Amino acid sequence: MKLTVTPKLLDKESSIGFLLRLAQRNGYLSIQDLVNQSVIRANVPNVDPKSLSTFSQLANVKAYEYSSHELWKFTCSINPRICLACIKSAGLIHQTHLDATVYRCTKHDLNLVNQCFHCRKSLRWDIALTNGLCTNEECGKKLIQIDTTVPENLTREQVLDCLTMSHFISAPCSTYITQKKFVEIDDYALALENGYKVLTQKDIFVEWECRQAFSSADEYPSDLNFVSSWLVKKILRSNWPIHSIINPPKITKQIESKSEKSLWLNYNTATNILKMSRPDIMLLKEFGLIFIRGNTRLTLNSVIDISPIFRMLAVHSKTDSNLDTSIYSASLLMHQNLTSLADILIGIKNKRLNTRYLPSSDISSSLYVDMSEFREFCQEQLKDKMNLIIDLGEAVKITSLSNSVLKSIKKQGVIQSPRRNPYSDDEFCYCSDAIKIRDMNRVGQLSLALENY
């Protein structure tokens, strides 16, 4: 079947806009009616009708710059936004107007319209758009311009920031993010306006930030209570007035309740907040202190539930008066004995270490120990790692000697190079050798030993 009318493709017209005009000019009621006809293959070059059921084909997303944004793979908007002047002059839906980072028509200096002023319904991809009419069948009135308080000169990055902030506003207490393929926002103009308002007005941001904290379980340190703020800080690409207050306040509070609610975090968020490496996270999984969504292997895209850690800490918390030193203040001791936070958490679970848990600014500041008992625990941790191969960075922690000094000692044969990789042996040693160097240095025997070599 031959189409009666095949309009000329307008300059910089979007594929989906052209198909709407094509359907409208040939009497079809929708794009889908047109797609179902074999005439598409014969009349529209380089378009497979079978593929037009997907938005990516309709919108021709290949024309868009690939976005590395944390929330969206492509910055192409699923929801239609049109320039009323472009529609009035030629029924044109501009290709660039599908980009969610574009909110104004540069040719006509007008904001794009995404909603009907009369019925307040968001627009749909419908033939009515080509006539500038509301796509809501119960309304169908002529679309008119809607004013906004957003400035006219926001950059691409600033627009993405506003949409990001709006995402967190509409999803209270978001503790992790999932990247979607396209930008899907029902009321784009409102989202942009709300995001801009929160990012530019400190009092409104503080109010939002406090709502996130007050909604969290009381057994968490404040950096986890404010994890939504932490995520926003990581994602924002431009400088905003709220940057000076975006760090959550340091608070100390007693445990008032115990929540069974999960606390899911993205892998990078979990490792940053807990200050743990991948092996540490894997170790916690082995001991049932974290769970991975879907019980799959740990990857950069994993979503992790860390709530079991804090339920365990609350259960094992003691009230002894001698538990008066935070492990944060004992970080040097941990450093010198290669004792990680994961080692400590597993030690608490296995009842090898007594602690008092009082939620504070972060997990290290929330755990209190008896210093003499903690010293013994850390020393035991180091002994357990005696036969391990460690890198020189860890050897520096144990010996308190510089990397260059340790390399010099290795060249003189005082400590052995493990046989693991002929190209990188100089960067590794046995943990037992590092301990030996430390002990020799403490009693003044190291310089003597070096002279004999």
Q: Is the pLDDT of residue 123 over 60?
A: yes
Contacts of 48 (CB under 8 A, 6+ apart): 41, 57
65 DSSP assignment = P
346 DSSP assignment = H
Q: Is the pLDDT of residue 285 over 90?
A: yes
Q: Is the pLDDT of residue 67 over 80?
A: no
Q: For residue 256, what pLDDT is reported? A: 42
pLDDT higher for 438 or 67? 438
pLDDT-based confidence at residue 369 (cuts at 50, 70, 90)? very high
**CA quadruple 428, 432, 433, 438: dihedral sign:** positive
Say which range, 242-256, 264-278, 389-403, 411-425, has the weakest mean pLDDT.
242-256
pLDDT, mean of residues 36-43 = 52
Which 3 state secondary structure label does DSSP give 444?
coil
Nearest to 75 by CA among 92, 106, 97, 43: 97
Nearest to 143 by CA among 121, 175, 169: 121
Contact 129, 80 (CB under 8 A): yes
Residue 126 CA to residue 145 CA, distance in Å, equals: 19
CA atoms within 13 A on the CB side of 355: 31
pLDDT-based confidence at residue 120 (cuts at 50, 70, 90)? very high
Q: Is the pLDDT of residue 230 over 90?
A: no
Amino acid letter, residue 91: G
pLDDT, mean of residues 68-72 = 86
Q: What is the pLDDT of residues 189-200, one digit of tens each?
A: 999 999 999 999
* pTM of the complete model: 0.79
Residue 185 CA to residue 180 CA, distance in Å, equals: 12
Q: Is the pLDDT of residue 84 over 90?
A: yes
Mean pLDDT of the chain: 84
pLDDT higher for 453 or 172? 172
- Distances in Å between the Cα of 190 and the Cα atoms of 147, 169, 185, 206, 207 are 11, 12, 10, 20, 19
Q: For residue 288, what pLDDT is reported? A: 94
Q: For residue 366, what pLDDT is reported? A: 95
Q: For residue 327, what pLDDT is reported? A: 96
Q: Which two tokens stand for residue 432?
A: 């037992």
Q: Is the pLDDT of residue 403 over 70?
A: yes
Q: What is the pLDDT of residues 241-253, one digit of tens each?
A: 988 875 655 444 4
Q: For residue 258, what pLDDT is reported? A: 45
Q: For residue 389, what pLDDT is reported? A: 87
pLDDT, mean of residues 62-82 = 79
Q: What is the pLDDT of residues 127-177, one digit of tens each?
A: 999 999 999 989 999 999 988 889 999 999 999 999 999 999 988 778 899
Q: For residue 254, what pLDDT is reported? A: 40
- Distances in Å between the Cα of 28 and the Cα atoms of 17, 19, 25, 70, 81 are 14, 11, 8, 39, 22
pLDDT, mean of residues 345-366 = 94
pLDDT, mean of residues 354-362 = 92
pLDDT-based confidence at residue 257 (cuts at 50, 70, 90)? very low
> What does the buried/exposed string (b/e) look like for 335-362 if buried means 16 or more CB atoms within 10 Å of the residue's CB?
ebbbbbbbbbbbbbbeeebbbbbbbbbb
For the chain, what's the residue count? 453
Q: Which two tokens stand for residue 177?
A: 């993010």
Residue 154 CA to residue 229 CA, distance in Å, equals: 22
Alpha-carbon torsion, ordered 264, 268, 273, 278, to 10 deg: 100
